[in-house]
Structure 1
Amino acid sequence: MSQDRDRKHKLIDVELDETIGRSTPDVEHERAVAIFDLIEENSFCPVGDEGDGPYRLKLSLADSRLVFAISREDGAPVVTHILSLTPFRRIVKDYFMICESYYDAIRSSTPSHIEAIDMGRRGLHNEGSQTLMDRLAGKIEVDFDTARRLFTLVCVLHWRG
């Protein structure tokens, strides 16, 4: 893939709308890290767009739905997609529970137990990432690694600290 195509199919900015709400400093830090990781490396292109990226993404919440407002580098609107968060509720809840078990295990469990929990955590993260890819199909083209980073961001948007 050419460098020009890579730049055109990429997010260069992710903004959280005021509808997302603010949280504790720890949660805000996790959100900032998730956004940094997503911007640092991604493959992102609205389906049907002529590829005149790179793109900016503004995330907001409306009636328990996640709104993806996509614009060009200069701010010109491209498209807005709205995703229901319902398909993610169980996965995010389970993901948080297993993360809590993982952090507890780090303090007191054997390396093999920690590894087993971490494998379960990664499996849930992969499931959430695939669900996100499936929900974005026909709307936004992302690769699996980008879906993983987006799912991480979806999780920290739910985390209240």
Structure 2
Amino acid sequence: MSGAEATNARLIDVELDETIGRSTPDVEHERAVAIFDLIEENSFRPVNDDGGGPYKLKLSLAESRLIFAISRQDGSDVVAHILSLTPFRRIVKDYYLICESYYDAIRSSTPSHIEAIDMGRRGLHNEGSQTLMDRLTGKIEIDFDTARRLFTLVCVLHWRG
């Protein structure tokens, strides 16, 4: 990929459709932070897209599926991909449980115990990120750091607060 292609193989906007629903102010803040982090640094290109980016991503939910609607900077449609959320259920559930343990440990545990829980938390996050990359193979080219940021957003979409 040339320098110009690499510069354009990225997201410049992420929008959550009204199907995502809204939640508590804390959850909405976490969603905003996840979107900011994703836009700030990412590598994102739909496979076989010759028109080039940068891209906009609109996420929506339909019947336990996550819809990635991708458009160009000018708003013209590129492609939409639909992913089942089923492969993420266990990982997201386990991730929330370990996050709760982590936040509880911060208040009362030893640094070594906190570090051990954090290692487990990062491991689950990596597993979810890899699952997302695998599910997007042949659809959207992303690097692992972008997969991590997208997985964070997927987790925050499930968080009801």
**TM-score normalised by L of structure 1:** 0.98
Name the structure 2 match of 1:77: 77
Q: Specify every segment of 5 or more residues in structure 2 that has no aligned partner in the other structure, as ranges.
A: none
Matched AA of 1:134 = D
1:89-108 map, 5 Å = 89-108=89-108
Q: Percent identity?
A: 86
In the other structure, the counterpart of 1:22 is 22
Is residue 115 from structure 1 mapped to residue 103 from structure 2 by the alignment? Answer: no
Q: Displacement of 1:4 after TM fit?
A: 1.7
Indicate the residue corresponding to 1:34 in structure 2: 34
Q: Partner amino acid for 1:132?
A: L
Tell me if structure 1 keeps the 8 A contact 2:5–2:52.
no
User: How far is 1:81 from its partner?
Assistant: 0.2
Structure 1 residues 12 and 108: alpha-carbon distance in aligned structure 2, compared to 1, 3 A threshold: same
Structure 1 runs not aligned, ≥5 long: none
Q: For residues 140 and 39 of structure 2, what CA distance do their matches in structure 1 show?
A: 16
Q: In the TM superposition, what is the alpha-carbon distance from 1:122 to its structure 2 partner?
A: 0.1
TM-score w.r.t. structure 2 length?
Answer: 0.98
Query: Are the equivalent residues in 2 in contact too, given 1:8–1:51 (CA < 8 A)?
Result: no
Deviation at 1:8, TM superposition (A): 1.2
The one-letter amino acid of 1:160's match is R
Q: Which runs of 4 or more aligned residues in structure 1 lie more than 2 Å from their structure 2 counterparts after TM superposition?
A: none
Give the superposed CA RMSD: 0.9
Partner of 1:160, secondary structure, is coil
- For the 8 Å contact 1:20–1:60, the answer to whether it is kept is yes
Alignment match, 2:67: 67
CA distance in 1, matches of 2:16, 2:96: 21
1:32-61 residue CA offsets vs partner (Å, 9 max, x unmatched): 000000000000000000151000000000
